[in-house]
């Protein structure tokens, strides 16, 4: 824990809210370990940190979504405890989540007053609500008609509606979790103008962003979290991008190095001009004319921020979702029209990003999950062979080192890292030639991460697997990958060898956003 | 980041702490214990209830619901629902009756009397067709299962009424000179002293057990209901699975229609009205989750027997049919209540336990004694 600013230059910059030794544990997992954190009056404090560093947990505690395991929150000198978001809101603290919480079918007015409708003599006083909404929107310099349905607004405008809603409950402290991740450059500018305006009105902001440079343009204070600890704190004028990256990533935990000592084969997977249109914004492409070729035995890392198009690219290659242009070749054969099952059959598999939503069947056991993609391998005639299934499952459990009570254990009984290994093991059991992994390290601890990377590295070196994995943690790019491809706004922005450095990778991924 | 809270949901603990044993057995075996309780209570109340002949009679009633419930189970396991089975049952009966009366080809001037086995196959084919329409609407045209099968509920019933003009086919016996005797054998006759309908139920049940436990298709059904997205990414042909379960449900309904019209030796267009609800009730009482992925044949059969033995018991002791309706409803609510206790108990456990530790899993296939707590403790230190 570093130098703690007790800057008290008048009202502006005075500490309005502070977290003292906040810790939060989920069983054995310590998401936050004694974090101290200050919010300054009329200023922006930005939280930096990689995925899993504890940013969201801290924000959830400050806004009453969760309660800390220990430590206290001090609001204007008084210790407070929020048992719900409503209570936090009553004290003037509002949070705007990354996924907006507006009802798209309702109007701006109805959204602003949702749950707090102004009731007059003859029911809801819509006229008064509309008047207040119009006033709020004008104050924010975004004169949207209060009766416009929210679904007709652009995402940036919707965000401003959320801000208006927070202001309408007289929020003094506004927490924004990744507010710019889905915005266009011009929308970001509008948002930043609104933020500056809010500051001048004495609203304090807490800001979370993965776009480091962008955040630096708006913030007054920077706090860096790593592995649930606050590793650094400084005022804006004292820091630069390099300082943030250094504190975010910390000393390198060894995630391995690119496997060597063997000859890579020919290109196994060739992606040619793949384009996926954005379903919500006509004319925009989430994946824009991406071409990439991966050789047998090669490990390629796709680095990019949220919304860069990594997931959409990998999913379209694997056969989930339609491509609007381009084709995918596996061993020179066009597989663009094949189903997911047929692509698996041909040797191309995807380990999805969200293992809860896309990777695991929670109602099934560890063994049943492991064998789900390779049922054909133990089916004789019409019936499956229990014995051979046990063989497949046992082999998978030992191949990917899953710690489990046995194949019959429920999938929920495993740790996040072991669940991830089940998803990987399931796809590996199909004996693929190309493995796509979308953020394989998401939400798993460092030890499990290293193990997953070791598996991939061995697969490439010993079986000649072509491996493509995506990540949003720059430290992971520089581990086992032979090649780092940086995606930004749906395009390949840059390509580096294994000798790249963190700064240039991060710069390549975020540049396009900073106007 | 968000994974912290997400993983939070993974750990599952003991359902009821240390004394989960008895409660768990009672909860998981509730359909079985309910059946025992029903048999004991009615045997005490009526001397005729506890007799082989009564059990066989009741079982042949259960056969109808049991067949519908098994088809419904397949659909519910994938996370769907099939409201059209009652109507399909009625339509199948009428269609069989229509075939038994002879199909006249006016151009040729002949009346063709198909033999009973042809009638059976054609009727099952009709059930499959209704199911296929359901399945295609749901899987490929994304019509919600509730709505698609509700529509077919009306259409199938309407077609049955149109075919007979609202009347009932009474003569299903066929004639030796026409070569189509034997229809009554399906439901009315007995084999080794057991009503054929019950034997058909047993055969279909065994087929379903094999299908669900031992074939790839069975695994696909469970995975589709458990997490369709994950199943699809694992190469499971989710859409085909969806179509097929409705086809199978339609066939089960058609078989039930054949058995029922054979039992009654008549086929009326209104047969099976509201049976779809009884079938759903049987599946639910059997412990299946309407959200899909959980449930089995054994439970569903028990559920069908609970409903059948309860309502017949009420008839035997002379309770008015109005009260029967009330009792049946109460049993269904009780069953669903226990279901939600069972499943929300898990969820609550999930929320309060953490993501990275493990603890013994009450519903896993391996039965654990409390003594296995030590292994759980060891497992808890993994990460």
- Pick from A223, A239, A248, A229: which is nearest to A40 by CA? A223
Contact A414 B354 (CB under 8 A): no
Q: Given this model, what pLDDT does residue A253 score?
A: 58
* H or E stretch covering A161: helix A155-168
Contact A363 B226 (CB under 8 A): yes
HSE value, Cβ hemisphere, 13 Å, CA-based, for A94 = 18
The whole-angstrom separation of Cα A147 and Cα A153 is 11
What are φ and ψ of residue B45, in 5° steps?
-80, -30
Q: Are A491 and A506 in contact (CB under 8 A)?
A: no
* Model confidence band, residue B144 (pLDDT cutoffs 50, 70, 90): very high
Please return the burial class of B6, using the count of CB atoms within 10 Å of its CB with bins 0-12, 13-18 and 19+. Answer: middle
- Pick from B186, B203, B216: which is nearest to B297 by CA? B203
* Tens of pLDDT, residues B73-101: 999 999 999 999 999 999 999 999 888 88
Kindly report the average pLDDT of chain B as a whole number: 80
Q: Given this model, what pLDDT does residue B378 score?
A: 36
- Helix, strand, coil shares of chain A, percent, nearest 5, are 35, 25, 35
| Maximum pairwise Cα distance, chain A | 81
Question: In this prediction, what percent of chain B has a pLDDT beyond 70?
Answer: 79
Contact B383 A28 (CB under 8 A): yes
| Cα A406 to chain centroid, rounded | 32
The whole-angstrom separation of Cα B71 and Cα B75 is 7
DSSP secondary structure letter of residue B63 = H
Q: Are A43 and A33 in contact (CB under 8 A)?
A: no
At residue A220, the 3 state secondary structure works out as coil
Asked if pLDDT for residue B222 goes beyond 80, the answer is: yes
Distance from CA of B361 to the nearest CA of A (A): 6
The whole-angstrom separation of Cα A188 and Cα B200 is 68
Please return the burial class of A372, using the count of CB atoms within 10 Å of its CB with bins 0-12, 13-18 and 19+. Answer: buried
Using the Cβ of A86 and the Cβ atoms of chain B, whether some distance falls under 8 Å is answered with no
The whole-angstrom separation of Cα A389 and Cα A261 is 35
Give chain B's end-to-end CA distance (angstroms, integer).
17
* Tens of pLDDT, residues B170-198: 877 777 777 667 777 776 677 787 888 89
Asked if pLDDT for residue B369 goes beyond 80, the answer is: no
β-strand partners of A365:
A410
Total Cβ atoms within 10 A of residue B252: 31
Q: Given this model, what pLDDT does residue B374 score?
A: 37
Q: Is the dihedral of CA A345, A351, A353, A355 positive or negative?
A: positive
Regions in chain A scoring below 50 on pLDDT = 1-10, 511-515
What are φ and ψ of residue B360, in 5° steps?
-60, 145
DSSP secondary structure letter of residue A261 = S
β-strand partners of A290:
A274
Q: Given this model, what pLDDT does residue B347 score?
A: 46
Domains of chain B: 22-341 (1.10.3470)
Angle between helices A126-139 and A155-168 (to 10 degrees): 110
Domains of chain A: 1-92+172-251 (3.40.50.300), 102-171 (no CATH), 265-347+436-515 (3.40.50.300), 359-431 (no CATH)
Residues of chain B with C-beta less than 8 angstroms from the C-beta of A414: 10, 358
Asked if pLDDT for residue B207 goes beyond 70, the answer is: yes
Residues of chain A with C-beta less than 8 angstroms from the C-beta of B353: 27
Q: Are B23 and B16 in contact (CB under 8 A)?
A: yes
* H or E stretch covering A495: strand A491-497
Closest residue of chain B to A363, computed from CA coordinates: B226
Beta-carbon contacts of A167 under 8 Å, excluding residues fewer than 6 positions away, are A136, A139, A140, A198, A203
Q: Which of B1, B354, B364 sits opposite A29 (nearest CB)?
A: B354
Question: In this prediction, what percent of chain B has a pLDDT beyond 90?
Answer: 36
Distance from CA of B213 to the nearest CA of A (A): 9
Q: Are A136 and A167 in contact (CB under 8 A)?
A: yes
Between the alpha carbon of residue B75 and those of residues A364, B82, B271, the distances in Å are 17, 7, 22
Cite the DSSP H helix spans in A169-240.
185-200, 212-218
Contact A372 B9 (CB under 8 A): no
Contact A408 B359 (CB under 8 A): no
Q: Given this model, what pLDDT does residue B337 score?
A: 81
Closest residue of chain B to A372, computed from CA coordinates: B234
Please return the burial class of B248, using the count of CB atoms within 10 Å of its CB with bins 0-12, 13-18 and 19+. Answer: buried
Contact A416 B375 (CB under 8 A): no
Q: Are B219 and B78 in contact (CB under 8 A)?
A: no
What are φ and ψ of residue A120, in 5° steps?
-100, -160
Q: Is the dihedral of CA A110, A114, A116, A120 positive or negative?
A: positive
A15-26 and A70-75: which strand pairing? antiparallel
Q: Given this model, what pLDDT does residue A348 score?
A: 92
Q: Model-level pTM greater than 0.90?
A: no
- Pick from B244, B269, B291, B310: which is nearest to B97 by CA? B269
* Tens of pLDDT, residues B122-136: 999 999 999 999 999
Q: Are B358 and B9 in contact (CB under 8 A)?
A: no
Which contacts of A73-82 are long-range, i.e. CB under 8 A and separated by 24 or more positions?
A: A73/A17, A73/A18, A73/A19, A73/A20, A73/A22, A74/A17, A74/A18, A74/A19, A74/A20, A75/A16, A75/A17, A76/A16, A76/A17
Q: Given this model, what pLDDT does residue A121 score?
A: 81
| Maximum pairwise Cα distance, chain B | 82
The whole-angstrom separation of Cα B16 and Cα B23 is 8
The whole-angstrom separation of Cα A228 and Cα A22 is 10
């Amino acid at each position: 824990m570093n130098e703690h600013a007790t800057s008290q230059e008048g009202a502006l910059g005075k500490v309005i809210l502070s977290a003292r030794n906040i810790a939060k544990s989920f069983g054995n997992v310590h998401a936050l370990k004694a974090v101290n954190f200050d919010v300054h009056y009329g200023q922006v404090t930005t939280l930096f940190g990689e995925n899993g560093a504890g940013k969201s947990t801290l924000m959830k505690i400050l806004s009453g979504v969760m309660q800390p395991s220990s430590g206290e929150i001090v609001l204007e000198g008084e210790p407070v405890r929020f048992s719900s978001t409503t209570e936090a809101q009553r004290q003037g603290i509002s949070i705007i989540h990354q996924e907006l919480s507006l009802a798209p079918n309702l109007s701006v007015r109805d959204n602003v007053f949702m749950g707090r409708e102004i009731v007059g003599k003859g029911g809801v006083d819509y006229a008064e609500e509309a008047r207040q909404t119009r006033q709020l929107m004008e104050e924010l310099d975004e004169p949207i008609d209060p009766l416009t349905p929210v679904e007709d607004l652009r995402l940036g405008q919707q965000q401003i509606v959320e801000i208006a809603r927070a202001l309408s409950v007289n929020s003094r402290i506004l927490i924004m979790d990744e507010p710019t991740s889905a915005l266009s450059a011009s929308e970001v500018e509008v948002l930043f103008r609104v933020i500056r305006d809010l500051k001048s009105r004495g609203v304090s902001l807490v800001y979370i962003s993965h776009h480091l440079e962008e955040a630096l343009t708006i913030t007054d204070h920077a706090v860096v979290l790593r592995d649930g600890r606050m590793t650094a704190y400084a005022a804006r004028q004292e820091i630069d991008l390099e300082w943030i990256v250094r504190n975010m990533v910390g000393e390198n935990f060894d995630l391995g190095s690119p496997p060597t000592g063997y000859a890579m084969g020919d290109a196994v997977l060739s992606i040619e001009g793949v384009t996926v249109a954005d379903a919500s914004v006509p004319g925009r492409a989430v994946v824009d004319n991406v071409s990439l070729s991966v050789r047998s035995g090669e490990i390629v890392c796709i680095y990019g921020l949220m919304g860069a198009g990594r997931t959409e690219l990998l999913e379209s290659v694997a056969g989930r979702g339609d491509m609007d242009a381009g084709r995918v070749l596996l061993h020179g054969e066009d597989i663009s029209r094949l189903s997911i099952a047929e692509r698996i059959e041909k040797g191309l598999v995807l380990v999805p990003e969200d293992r809860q939503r896309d990777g695991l069947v929670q109602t099934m056991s560890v063994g049943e999950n492991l064998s789900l993609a390779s049922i054909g391998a133990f089916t004789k005639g019409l019936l499956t062979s229990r014995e051979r299934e046990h063989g497949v499952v046992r082999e998978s459990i030992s191949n990917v080192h899953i710690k489990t009570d046995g194949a019959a254990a429920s999938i929920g009984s495993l740790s996040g890292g072991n669940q991830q290994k089940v998803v990987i093991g399931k796809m590996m059991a199909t004996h693929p030639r190309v493995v796509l992994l979308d953020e394989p390290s998401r939400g798993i601890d460092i030890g499990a991460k290293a193990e997953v990377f070791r598996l991939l590295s061995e697969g490439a070196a010993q079986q000649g697997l072509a491996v493509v994995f995506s990540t949003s943690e720059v430290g992971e790019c520089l581990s086992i990958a032979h090649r780092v491809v940086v995606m930004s706004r749906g395009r390949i922005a840059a390509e580096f060898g294994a000798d790249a450095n963190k700064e240039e990778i991060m710069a390549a991924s975020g540049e396009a956003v900073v106007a | 980041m968000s994974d912290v809270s997400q993983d939070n949901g993974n750990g599952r603990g003991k359902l009821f702490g240390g004394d989960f044993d008895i409660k768990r057995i009672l909860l998981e075996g509730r359909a079985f214990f309910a059946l025992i309780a029903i048999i004991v209570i009615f045997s005490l109340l009526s001397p005729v209830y506890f007799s082989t002949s009564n059990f066989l009679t009741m079982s042949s009633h259960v056969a109808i619901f049991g067949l519908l419930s098994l088809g419904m189970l397949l659909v519910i396991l994938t996370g769907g629902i099939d409201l059209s089975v009652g109507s399909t049952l009625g339509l199948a009966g009428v269609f069989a009756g229509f075939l038994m009366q002879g199909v006249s080809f006016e151009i040729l001037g002949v009346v063709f009397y198909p033999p009973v086995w042809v009638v059976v196959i054609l009727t099952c084919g009709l059930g499959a067709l209704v199911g296929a329409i359901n399945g295609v609407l749901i899987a490929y045209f994304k019509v919600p299962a509730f709505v698609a099968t509700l529509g077919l509920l009306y259409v199938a019933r309407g077609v049955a009424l149109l075919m007979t003009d609202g009347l009932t086919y009474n003569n299903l016996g066929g004639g030796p000179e026409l070569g189509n005797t034997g229809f009554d054998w399906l439901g009315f006759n007995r084999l080794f002293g057991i009503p054929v309908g019950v034997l058909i139920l047993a055969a279909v049940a065994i087929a379903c057990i094999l299908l669900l436990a031992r074939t790839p298709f069975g695994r696909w059904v469970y995975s589709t209901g458990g997490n369709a997205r994950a199943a699809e990414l694992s190469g499971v042909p989710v859409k085909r699975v969806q179509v097929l379960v409705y086809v199978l449900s339609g066939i089960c309904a058609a078989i039930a229609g054949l058995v029922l019209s054979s039992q009654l030796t008549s086929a009326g267009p209104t047969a099976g009205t509201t049976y779809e609800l009884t079938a759903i009730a049987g599946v639910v009482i059997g412990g299946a989750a309407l959200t899909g992925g959980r449930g089995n044949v054994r439970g569903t059969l028990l559920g069908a027997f609970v409903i059948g033995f309860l309502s017949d018991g009420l008839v035997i002791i002379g309770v008015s049919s109005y009260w029967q309706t009330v009792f049946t409803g109460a049993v269904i609510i009780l069953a669903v209540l226990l279901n939600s206790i069972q499943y929300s108990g898990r969820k609550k456990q999930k929320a309060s336990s953490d993501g990275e530790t493990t603890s013994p899993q009450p519903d896993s296939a391996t039965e654990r004694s409390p003594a296995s707590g030590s292994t759980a403790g060891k497992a808890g230190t993994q990460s």
